[in-house]
A and B are shown apart, each in its own frame.
Chain A
Amino acid sequence: MIQLDNVTQHYGVRPILIDLSLNILENELAVVLGPNGMGKTTMLRVMAGVLAPQRGTVTIAGHQRRNSVEDEIAIRSQTVYLPDDVWLPGTMTGREYLLHVASLYGVDALWAMEHADQLLQLFQLVREGDWPMRSYSSGQKKKISLCSSVISQAPIMLLDEPFSGGLDPAGIFAFKRILQRLIQKQVATVVLTTPVGELVEELAGRVIVVRHGRIAADGSVAELRRQSKAGGPLEEVLEQLVHPQLMESILAYFDVVENR
């Protein structure tokens, strides 16, 4: 469904993604994990077509990204990309914004109104839904942007850190359930990034760990546990895979501090 072939992306002379190849299957929920600055967001931006990789190709649903106008339009009509800092038109109300997004993706107008009502209720934005978005808190902005990704009904969702940015526990819980249901019903392929493994442990069908622009590990949570030989929470597994020396560093730190 989403295929990256030998993608290389630099910022200046600093390589962010190095010869990265990946294939994400249809109706799969893939979580890209990794510490800050390791290339998660860049990978998603390359998938979303925001960045043109210096080398390599991205193919989505059989169409190559940035190959031709027709291919690009075909990809965009079935892909929704939610950046971490999504732009929202401040003068527009949340409800209006959702309806405009739905109309762009060709969703039936009456159904979109009904769906928007339901989403605003689910994310506790019933009252705020009719306020201009410039009056929203960062958490409310995050919620409305998550709602916009859902109301688009796009079969491919690229979500950059959807659980960060001030989202409250109720919002995290609700959005996780929505993603789970979309995957269960086999109506969406989801790629999301997060630096925190616990948030998505119950959700992830596949975990891709990125380290220094390369894929450090790729598989289900159980497979990663086997690979890392760590039996604890996903956080521990992740640290074993990304920073194998971290535990030793922590022990060394306490050793120095407590024996001072």
Chain B
Amino acid sequence: MTRWWRIIRPLMPPNWLSTVIFVSAMPFLVVLIMMWQEPLLPPGRIGDLLKVRDIWAIILAGFYGMWRAGSGHPLVDEQYRNWLAISPWLPDQHRLPFGSLFLGPRDVVVLLILTAITAWGGLTIYASLVAFLVTYSIIAAIVIWDGGARIHGWVILLVVTSLPLLLNLGHLAWLPLLGLLPVIYDGNLRCLRGLREHQWIAGPLKERLKSSPNPLGWPFGSLYPMPPVIQLRRSARSRSGSNSSRQFGCWRSRRGGPQPRCPAWPL
């Protein structure tokens, strides 16, 4: 048993049990506190208590969605990203060492508990799920967009912002949100794969962009040594694509028009 626990425990996300207990206990705690303060409730007040409980559950589901989308994400936590960048971590070969980004059984458990709470004599059973999906999708869209998967980010934001237009679907209005989960999964996957190739380019590029154009101030700016141009080996396909874009650029510049003065950076 001990050996089994020693093998299994490191594979579990940190604090998952405490998260489940906290999330599920809070709404009940609120109800208990209110009942303790006013033990002889008139029949009309029970409905009020149930509303408070539901609002608590929805708020918790929303916070849980935010936390789940942003917590433990290397694109959000710069120190974590830098730590990964000097380790042999590879997105296709290793799990993220400090917990998965993707939704799993523990999230299903948390959502089932919250749904069960709101289902008993309260709001619709979908309320907690919708709150979770909305906040999870918004934060995930921002992170994914920042991580380079721009199309995924836009699609997610488009669906989430158009949600009020779908309200005439009634109880089925949350279904498009469920449809976003594969998009978020794919977006996260792309961002992680992007880290493999660009994680050490990201540093100098970021510094360069931050410090641009004149980090030292006049008259020393021209002395600032710029980071070197990193030449990555490219596949034949991307090389031909790059050549095509260069040819297009030459053709465009010969036709006249403004020529942007941007530094060459082989991204």
Contacts and interface: CB of A to CB of B under 8 A. Distances in A.
Interface in B163-215: 196-197, 200, 203-204, 215
Interface in A98-123: 99-101, 103-106, 109, 113
Interface stretch (A88-96, A183-191, A232-240, A241-249): A88-96
B94 A103 contact: yes
Contact of A10 (B10, B94, B225): B225
A54 B196 contact: no
B98 A100 contact: yes
Interface string B213-224: 001100010011
B9 A76 contact: no
A113 B97 CA distance: 16
Given A100-B97, A104-B94, A66 B9 contact: no
Contact of A66 (B14, B87, B89, B230): B230
Contacts of A72: 200
A73 B90 contact: yes
B262 interface: no
A12 interface: yes
Interface stretch (A44-52, A163-171, A250-258): A44-52
A175 interface: no
A92 B9 CA distance: 11
Interface residues on A, range: 35 or more
Contact of B86 (A10, A50, A89, A92): A50
Interface in A65-102: 66-70, 72-73, 76-77, 81, 87, 89, 91-92, 95-96, 99-101
Interface string B5-18: 01101100011000
Contacts of B216: 12-13
Nearest to A77: B88
Contacts of A53: 228
Contact of A105 (B88, B220, B223): B88
A73 B14 CA distance: 28
B28 to A, nearest CB: 25
B196 A96 contact: no
A91 B15 contact: yes
Residue among A55, A67, A100 with the highest chain B CB neighbour number at 10 A: A100
Nearest to A10: B225
A76 B94 contact: no
A221 B3 CA distance: 47
A208 to B, nearest CB: 22
Contacts of B108: none
A104 B200 contact: no
B87 A104 contact: yes
Given A13-B220, A87-B79, A103-B97, A48 B227 contact: no
Contacts of B233: 68-70
A69 B88 contact: no
B124 interface: no
Contacts of B236: none
A99 B10 contact: yes
B82 interface: yes
Given A52-B228, A104-B88, A104-B89, A89 B7 contact: no
Given A55-B228, A68-B232, 19 more contacts: A12-B215, A52-B204, A52-B227, A68-B233, A70-B233, A76-B88, A87-B80, A87-B83, A89-B80, A91-B14, A92-B14, A100-B10, A100-B97, A103-B94, A104-B94, A104-B97, A105-B88, A113-B6, A113-B7
Interface of B: 6-7, 9-10, 14-15, 79-80, 82-83, 85-90, 94, 97-98, 196-197, 200, 203-204, 215-216, 220, 223-228, 230-233
Please provide the 9 A-B residue pairs with the shortest distance between their CB atoms, ordered closest to farther. Answer: A100-B97, A77-B88, A87-B79, A76-B88, A91-B14, A68-B233, A10-B225, A99-B10, A13-B223
